[in-house]
Chains A and B, each alone.
Chain A
Amino acid sequence: MEEQILLRTLGLSKNFGDVKALDGVSLDIKRGEIQGLIGENGSGKSTISSIIFGIHKASAGSMELSRTLYSPKSPMEARQNGISMIVQEKDTIDMLSVAENIFLGDEKEFKKGPFVDTAKMNAEAKKALSDIGIKDIDVTEPVYRFSFETRKLIEIAKALYYKPELIIIDETTTALSQDGRMKIYEIMRKQKEANKAVLFISHDLPELMETCDCLTILRDGSFVKKIEKSDFSENEIKKSMVGRTVSENLYRNDFEGRMTDKVAVCMENVKTDLLDNINLNLYEGEILGIGGLSGSGMHELGRVFAGLDRCNEGEVKVYGEKLKDLAQALRLKIGYISKDRDTETLFLAESIKDNLTISAWNILKRGFLILPGDEKKFAEKQIEELKIKCSSGNQLVRELSGGNKQKVSFGKLIGNGSRIMILDSPTRGVDVGVKTTMYELINNLKHEGHAIVIISEELPELIGMCDRILILKDGAISKEFERKPDLKETDIINYLI
């Protein structure tokens, strides 16, 4: 059996300054295996993956690849050794074209004299994309023109182009909608069939239990246990992850519907480049869900709500007032968190405290002064409530794990006085424990009379939390569902595709 082990880590540790992110983790990844990796936010999943992929260097411990010592100094070297990774955060460079992004660092493959043979590179990029079933992308366009999800798909194409022996997929599925996920599952299956290996990181437990052959659990940087498929049990896994028993139900239990009939936002025949004739009402004291596939326009609809995208035709009325731009949206107390949180919501180079307080200045103000003491109190409350794992409020946001960044992004809106909240993928990459807290907070906000929109790729989340769900398809609303106990994913999926 020994020869089946593709990659083995021996007592890997990693310190970031005083923070011990990884503490002596040993694990085996076998050929023909899809291994899941799970743990709370900040438990070290991305850290160990980054070490395997050569982004970080381990502080202690070693690795063996096919039984020979392996210590990559860069992702390039990892790729040469047959290891690819799809990272959790955005990994494309905005101004470069799709093709240039795919072959970033490998331009020499396309050398023609002193120049890069662009035509050949573009052709190869097209091929890389069509290999994962994407055909309608112009590879010469700069990537910033594409949606968050498409950029993720471009990264997947890049990772697969090198025909890796081991592919690491770090928290990617929650960034993708149903069809994108299907692609990932398909890729993992093929990898397994070819007797290669997958390390799959996700916070979606049902997904992990469905796709993985075994699960490794990390807690606070340490290995907890490895479970084989035959022994999978949801409660057991959750318990090992968190170290205590977690409540069965993540979502709200009531079916009481919306609180009022007072319209907060009304869209009439809204048309944009991607949206086609949208008519809807959002009420105070309501949680409205919006779902769809990639390219359905669901994220664009969120931007229209927030005054970021303008309508070509039709209008958006907020409390009867016509919405023109972002400044007005803010005046009308519309809060928005973007799916692309790193570039649009957060200040990565700044502290957690500064990030949390910036959207709450209007309520922290005394006269016209914003005092450091008040800021500190406000930030500490959010850090505690959302269990943001950090050394202190002064830690920089860019040093946080993906899920903890998402908590900061979410924390901005809570308690900043917004009456209408547009939450695009609010729980992306957040672990089960904190998800429950977030859902509770959202539900409380609803009862306080806020109008809330949840845009999400995750159908269980929409079904579990929303009073009404609108399904978007090709830019138009294809179906509306009311909250009810027997609503199932399968009922909705038919209207997605």
Chain B
Amino acid sequence: MKKIKEYQSELVKWIGLVLVTLVFGFWSDWNLLSAYNLNSMIETATPLAIACIGMAFVFAHGGMDISSGAVVALAALGAVVIMNGTGSIVLGVIFAMASSMVCYFVNVIVTNKFGLMSTITSLAIMFSARGLVTYICQNTPNESISIANVDVTMFKRNHIFMVLMIAVVMIALGIIFNYTALGKGARAIGDNEKSAGQNGVAIDQTKILCYLIAGICVGIAAVFKLSSTGMVQSSTGNGFEMDILVCLVLGGMSLSGGMGTKISSALVGSLTYVILMKGLTIIGMNPNTVILVKAIVFLIIIYITTQRTNLKTLPR
């Protein structure tokens, strides 16, 4: 009994995932799980899950980020330019990760230095990155830059590689998150920054590393996004930041962070989200209604999670 209680929240989200799969599987006559749909879901899930897992580090320490969509666009733009210029995928990938890391590094440094709310800084980063991408794209002939003379099939059609990528990121970051001073420190900061500092957590350093991890993951996500569309335009990555938020919330992550934050929320949340969206489309729901459903799910879950945190015991 006690064990069950302990793992209750963990169980709930897995049950949610299974339930969503069953409901929509049944509803769509198991069309949801056809090879075609499975592949297409893996393609959507890969960038999303990887970015969410990285972002868990930011949310765990009480940070908030809404710049990821714009950063994806910027990183993808850099990657495509490098790939086209050098003909090397590897250089492109490295550049995508590096530019995304720079964005997040600036973000955290500004937040720390000026004591700003992280949302505000990420808003500024979002506008700058998005502005830069739009400006560059508008000055190209097709208002977009396409991948030319490099073969990105691996990032586009190799589903085993994609699943492996998710697994590797999840395991590596899962270990860091749960069993190292960095991950534990980040979560402690989310609980009580003052106490964390006095207990020996290096606050600024931990925050910087968390943002860098998020940066790497968003950079990888950008490569997958770029490969699947084959080009970058001013609208690339639009709405990605909101998708990440919905996924995390769906996975039961508390958006204020803390020791109880689970990184598995990021993975389960993004899988549930992708299946939910796919399911709704397959059963023929109109795309605008899908967005509405997204918003409603978001609100309901926010309501539930805030309710839960309000259950503080009384002072003694």
Using a CB–CB distance below 8 Å, which chain A residues touch chain B? 46-47, 50, 55-56, 87-91, 306, 308, 326-327, 330, 336, 338, 343-350, 354, 358-359, 361-362, 365, 368-372, 394, 398-399, 401-402, 412, 416
Contacts and interface: CB of A to CB of B under 8 A. Distances in A.
B219 interface: no
25 contacts: A50-B314, A87-B315, A87-B316, A91-B315, A326-B197, A336-B198, A344-B198, A346-B195, A347-B259, A349-B191, A350-B258, A350-B259, A354-B259, A358-B184, A358-B196, A358-B199, A358-B200, A358-B201, A361-B185, A370-B179, A370-B180, A370-B184, A371-B179, A372-B179, A398-B312
Contacts of A399: 313
Contacts of B200: 330, 358-359, 361-362, 416
B195 A361 contact: no
B125 to A, nearest CB: 26
A372 B191 CA distance: 20
A326 B175 contact: no
A361 B178 CA distance: 13
Nearest to A336: B198
Interface string B288-316: 00000000000000000000000011111
Contact of A56 (B179, B181, B197, B314): B314
Given A344-B194, A349-B260, A370-B179, 9 more contacts: A326-B198, A344-B198, A350-B259, A359-B199, A365-B181, A368-B181, A369-B175, A369-B179, A394-B6
Nearest to A401: B316
Contacts of B196: 347, 358
A306 B200 CA distance: 11
B231 to A, nearest CB: 41
A324 to B, nearest CB: 14
A340 to B, nearest CB: 9
A343 B316 contact: no
Nearest to A46: B316
Interface of B: 6, 175, 179-181, 184-185, 188, 191-192, 194-202, 204, 258-260, 312-316
Nearest to B191: A347
Contacts of A338: 198
Contact of B316 (A50, A347, A369): A50
Contacts of A402: 316
Nearest to B182: A368
A336 B194 CA distance: 12
Contact of A349 (B184, B204, B258, B315): B258
Contact of B202 (A306, A308, A327, A416): A327
A411 to B, nearest CB: 12
Nearest to A45: B316
Given A87-B316, A89-B316, A361 B197 contact: no
> Across chains A and B, which 8 residue pairs bring their CB atoms closest together, nearest first?
A359-B199, A350-B259, A347-B191, A46-B316, A361-B181, A358-B199, A369-B179, A89-B315
B202 to A, nearest CB: 6
A56 B198 CA distance: 32
Contacts of B314: 50, 55-56
A94 to B, nearest CB: 12
Contact of B198 (A90, A306, A365): A306
**B179, B191, B201, B316: residue with the most chain A Cβ atoms closer than 10 Å:** B316
A350 to B, nearest CB: 5
A343 B194 contact: yes
A359 B201 CA distance: 8
A372 B184 CA distance: 12
A47 B313 CA distance: 13
Contacts of A348: 192
B137 to A, nearest CB: 42
Nearest to B309: A349
A87 B180 CA distance: 38
A347 B196 CA distance: 8
A361 B184 contact: yes
Contacts of B199: 345, 358-359, 412
